[in-house]
Amino acid sequence: MSDEKSKRPSEPVISRRSFIKGAGAVAAAASLVGVRNAEAEEAASNAGIAERLGPGAQSIELKINGATHRLAIEPRVTLLRALREHLGMTGTKQVCDRGACGACTVHLDGRPVTSCMMLTVDARGHEVTTIEGLGNPAAMHPVQGAFVEHDALQCGFCTPGMVMSVAAALAANPNASREEVRHATAGNICRCGTYTHVFEAALSATNASGKARA
Amino acid sequence: MSRRVTLSLGYEGNLQDVVVVIPDDEPTPWQWSDKLDIVGKPTPRVDGPLKATGAARYSYDIELPGMLYGAILRSPYPHARIKSIDASRARRLNGVRAVMNMDDDVVRFAGHEIAAVAAISSDIANDAIALINVEYEQLPFVADLEAAMASGAPAVFENGSNLAKPRESALGDFARAFAEAEATHEGTYTTPVQTHVSLESHGSVASWEGDKLTVWTSTQGIFAVRDDLTVYFKLPGDNVRVITEFLGGGFGSKFGAGPEVIIACRLAKAAGAPVKLMLSRKEEHLATGNRPSSVQKVRMGADRGGKLIAIEVVQHGSGGIGAGSGSTGPFANVYRCPNFRSEERNVFMNTGPSSPMRAPGWPQGCFALELAMDELARKLNLDRLEFRRRNSEHPVRAVEFELGAKAFGWDEKSRTPKSNGALRRGIGVAGAAWHALGVSGPEAQVIAHRDGRVEVRVGTQDIGTGTRTVLAMVAAEEMGVALSRISCEIGDTRYLFSVPSGGSMTAPSNTPAVRQAASHLKQKIFRIAAPMIGADPNDLEIRDGVIQVRFDPTRKVAFEDACKRIPGDSISAQGERVMNYEGFRHDQAGCQFAEVEVDTETGIIRVLDVVAVHDAGRIIDPMTARSQVNGGVLMGIGFALFEARRLDPTLGIVVNPTMDDYKMVGPLDVPDIKVMFVEVANGITNTGVLGLGEASHVASAAAVACAVYDAIGVPIRDLPMTPDRVLTALEAKA
């Protein structure tokens, strides 16, 4: 038993579940070995790539929250790491580091993206907006104000990403429904389980912006 | 030295006079009749703007000049002896500043710490880890619960059994009562290992100045970390300062200085520079704690009148190389049964260590207890809520069952047909219990400044429950000033001592110290104000920021004008948290109702509706309290439906150490949740506040499991209730 329940006699030899379990073990074993695929790198390098960067630090320009930043950065550095470790913008959080939790969500040209899944060099030529660019404690964005008002945060670690997802959704559709808000935040995990208040906050921001226009 | 006061305690419809003896310098405990201005009003948390804008500084956000980044090399094997470590290539890598080995030469789980490096960037630190060459002698291991218990199983600890001595307790005569019971039920219930998945990982920024150490760390117990570090580094307590301004969750996994904290400090010392070492998500799943598994064999019997007369639960479980897998608490606490027997056995195996997790042992036990209750109720042909009412003796829970059933629509939903094609609906109810009374120990300081600001300082921390907010509200209430005047400083061992934030202890342990400190400060302010209006300090009161003579409100002075007369810059007072008084009751009840819909073709369960009814003494902030209950419910739904750490027992490794493979509740899984509180004036402290974090989580998975049983007519006795288990159960039934 332990984590896995004891075998049930009625179960076929290879169930969907045991197949998935087997696949997971293979993936985990591969990640432990940490294979370096030199041939693949070699092949890619010759495949008509328009621009060749790295592996050393590269001087690039980024447009973040309306300001232009010049920084020297290795091409392997993710946008999340660049924001946090190179630019000191620590509002954006790293949680899963593989696009599964939404905590690192920023806006790229107004669209929500997970900054842990994006290389910094790929953000060149785009407008990046981080949580710091949305508002500050003295002048909060309406979505941030709604989060406070509805207590849509507990430990607060998912909050910047959650706010960015909601803000992008409401910018795209100021009259989003509860169901649309749920889907807009579907990629954001909150371990404190504060989703209900997030939906309430988002809906109140929706109504407020609706009223403002009317 | 002390005085006797008669307090009106209890809850709506059940009030009684209780005499308590309290120290002279303690404010009289708030009682039922006290009408408060700030406490009890829904209040957005005071640090909300910092969190909503990303301005809140977590340990993970700390940046120091010259700071290095640490990384840890972990064992790929579940049990091995380290024969040699060659870190020469790592040391030579450009940018590496320190390399260290752990002291032990045996690793006991895949993920156990072996060595660590500090480098000028996190990428280089990880590159360096990959360059360390370790020669292992692999040892026999066991990563399966039943295999670990077998005779001849590989020993997790040399010269020690994998099987701890059973912990037993008994009341009455179980065997006789079980034999005499009108209806009996027997079943075995299992729960998986759950991991905490705090969003902020474990870790620290460590900085030395000579033999003085400052550590920003993600912890639920700053003083516990300080104590561990003073012992490890043989330093006087004053030399270690621990800071946790903001904490990205913990759920029980962040008490004390874990290996990753010690490693950060050692690397910083070796490198002569500050080191930040925050764990990766994978490391979180492997090595920073988990809720142990459980296998619970339950036997239960009731008499003709539907009264429980016999309960036995024999349980074992494993928290890997950690102990503490017992889960039988709810069996002895939620319902009354005169003949009771329990047995708990902890089993060691070669997997990551357990740590306390939100109501340790109780969600597991409550799941087994409540599903067994439903199976027995069915044999008795008794409504499941009625069966619980007959066996629950807690008067507050009786009220909660009543309120909850009405809000949930238990009777109507019981009559609704279950089937709609392939979709079947079901309802369940489960009782909760906890004992978040808090402890003595914390001290608080409250400071009034000449400019009229009031500052609260306590060495506690906020795990996410709103500690700053509730402490500020209590201080504002007692001082008679607006909440906006109060700031609350926590999370630094330079403040007065407080206890770890766990077991729902923060609010009940700290609010009484803050209230006492505020009442002392108020007296000092009265002594300053009295001559300003020619009054005796003893005749003064303060309301809405105005100090006035109690019997002549025309003689008054504004609080901030009195503050202007403070000699020097500020005036402060301290308060201590005294031992609990006798009060009304020393326990908490609670209950939760759930409605589910089961797709009998896919096996997918959706939770539609939850009603959670809880008591936590006096609720300071109904808004943050509701947030906590929402969270307790949702974490319980995750435990019921999704969460399980999966092991490959042949390799001894965790196969789902990520947030995409370890499934948790997301926004699309959230049901409608209605949270209700039964206010109880309990008088056990001057605030009468109890905690909520655990109580709100105990019954959640159980209520869902009972609802699924109701929906499909067959109990699923193993968590999580994954689609394949639902389909297997339906097949077995057919």
Report DSSP letters for A170-184, one per residue: HHH-TT--HHHHHHH
Is A102 part of a structural domain of the chain? yes
**First vs last C-alpha separation in chain A:** 61
Closest CA to B104 of B74, B70, B140, B69: B74
Q: Please state the rounded mean pLDDT for residues B508-516.
A: 98
Cα A120 to Cα A64, A68, A93, A162, distances in angstroms: 12, 14, 16, 21
**First vs last C-alpha separation in chain B:** 72
pLDDT digits (tens, 9 = 90+) for B524-557: 999 999 999 999 999 999 999 999 999 999 999 9
Q: In this structure, what DSSP letter does residue B43 have? A: -
pLDDT band at A35 (very low <50, low <70, confident <90, very high): very low
pLDDT at position A1: 38
Out of B245, B643, B694, B731, the active site residue is: B694
pLDDT value at A132 more than 60: yes
Q: Please state the rounded mean pLDDT for residues B250-254.
A: 97
- Separation of alpha carbons B43 and B558, rounded Å: 24
* Structural tokens at position B20: 């308590």
- Using CA coordinates, name the residue in chain B closest to A30: B655
Is A11 part of a structural domain of the chain? no
Is A154 close to B76, i.e. CB distance below 8 A?
Answer: no
pLDDT value at A26 more than 70: no
Mean pLDDT of chain B: 97
Residues with Cβ within 8 Å of A4's Cβ and at least 6 positions away in sequence, in order, are A21, B144, B646, B647, B649
pLDDT band at A3 (very low <50, low <70, confident <90, very high): very low
pLDDT at position A39: 63
pLDDT at position A6: 41
pLDDT band at B560 (very low <50, low <70, confident <90, very high): very high
Picking from B43, B47, B51, B722 by the largest number of A CB atoms within 10 A of its own CB, the best residue to mutate is B51
pLDDT value at A32 more than 50: no
Q: Please state the rounded mean pLDDT for residues B663-676.
A: 98
- Separation of alpha carbons B531 and B529, rounded Å: 6
In chain B, how long is the greatest CA-to-CA distance?
87
CATH of the domain at A150: 3.10.20.30
Chain A residues touching residue B138 (CB < 8 angstroms): none
pLDDT digits (tens, 9 = 90+) for A45-93: 666 777 888 889 999 999 999 999 999 999 999 999 999 999 999 999 9
- Separation of alpha carbons B390 and B383, rounded Å: 11
Residues with Cβ within 8 Å of A207's Cβ and at least 6 positions away in sequence, in order, are none
- Separation of alpha carbons B208 and B366, rounded Å: 46
Sign of CA dihedral B77, B79, B83, B88: positive
- Separation of alpha carbons B312 and B168, rounded Å: 11
- Separation of alpha carbons B582 and B585, rounded Å: 8
pLDDT value at B115 more than 70: yes
pLDDT digits (tens, 9 = 90+) for B312-360: 999 999 999 999 899 999 999 999 999 999 999 999 999 999 999 999 9
Task: Domain count for chain A, please give it.
Answer: 1
- Using CA coordinates, name the residue in chain B closest to A195: B667
Q: Is B500 in a helix, a strand, or coil?
A: coil
pLDDT value at B13 more than 70: yes
Is A201 part of a structural domain of the chain? yes
Above 0.90 for ipTM, yes or no? yes
Q: Tell me which residue range forms the domain holding A173.
A: 58-209
- Separation of alpha carbons B203 and B224, rounded Å: 15
Residues with Cβ within 8 Å of B521's Cβ and at least 6 positions away in sequence, in order, are B446, B447, B448, B454, B479, B571, B572, B573
* Structural tokens at position B145: 């619960």
pLDDT value at A11 more than 60: no
Sign of CA dihedral B530, B535, B540, B542: negative
Identify each DSSP E strand in B210-266 by its residue range: 212-217, 240-243
- Sequence letter at residue B73: L
Is A36 part of a structural domain of the chain? no
pLDDT at position A37: 60
pLDDT at position A151: 98
Q: Please state the rounded mean pLDDT for residues B362-386.
A: 98
pLDDT at position A15: 43
pLDDT value at A206 more than 60: yes
pLDDT value at B248 more than 80: yes
pLDDT value at B1 more than 70: yes
pLDDT at position B668: 98
Range with the lowest mean pLDDT among A10-14, B7-11, B91-95?
Answer: A10-14
Helix or strand holding residue B367 (H, E) = helix B362-380
pLDDT band at A110 (very low <50, low <70, confident <90, very high): very high
Angle ∠(B405,B409,B410) on CA atoms, nearest 5: 60
pLDDT at position A42: 60
pLDDT digits (tens, 9 = 90+) for B402-420: 999 999 999 999 998 888 7
Report yes or no: B538 and B559 within 8 Å, Cβ to Cβ: no
Is A32 part of a structural domain of the chain? no
pLDDT at position A18: 41
Residues with Cβ within 8 Å of B647's Cβ and at least 6 positions away in sequence, in order, are A2, A3, A4, B143, B144, B351, B653, B654, B655
Range with the lowest mean pLDDT among A25-29, A185-189, B118-122, B389-393?
Answer: A25-29
Is A176 part of a structural domain of the chain? yes
The minimum CA-CA distance between B540 and chain A, rounded to whole Å, is 35
Active site residue B541: no
Question: What percentage of residues in chain B have a pLDDT greater than 70?
Answer: 100
Is A64 part of a structural domain of the chain? yes
pLDDT value at A13 more than 50: no
Is B199 close to A155, i.e. CB distance below 8 A?
Answer: yes
Residues with Cβ within 8 Å of B694's Cβ and at least 6 positions away in sequence, in order, are B358, B359, B362, B434, B436, B503, B504, B632
Name the residue among B53, B627, B632 with its Cβ closest to that of A197: B627
Range with the lowest mean pLDDT among B230-234, B320-324, B473-477?
Answer: B320-324
Is A90 close to B731, i.e. CB distance below 8 A?
Answer: no
pLDDT at position A138: 97
- Sequence letter at residue B427: I
pLDDT digits (tens, 9 = 90+) for B182-220: 999 999 999 999 999 999 999 999 999 999 999 999 999
Is A47 part of a structural domain of the chain? no
Picking from A71, A151, A188 by the largest number of B CB atoms within 10 A of its own CB, the best residue to mutate is A151
- Separation of alpha carbons B425 and B437, rounded Å: 38
pLDDT band at A14 (very low <50, low <70, confident <90, very high): very low
* Structural tokens at position B44: 């957005």
pTM of the model: 0.93
pLDDT value at B465 more than 60: yes
Report yes or no: B511 and B471 within 8 Å, Cβ to Cβ: yes
Number of CB atoms found within 10 A of residue B634's CB: 29
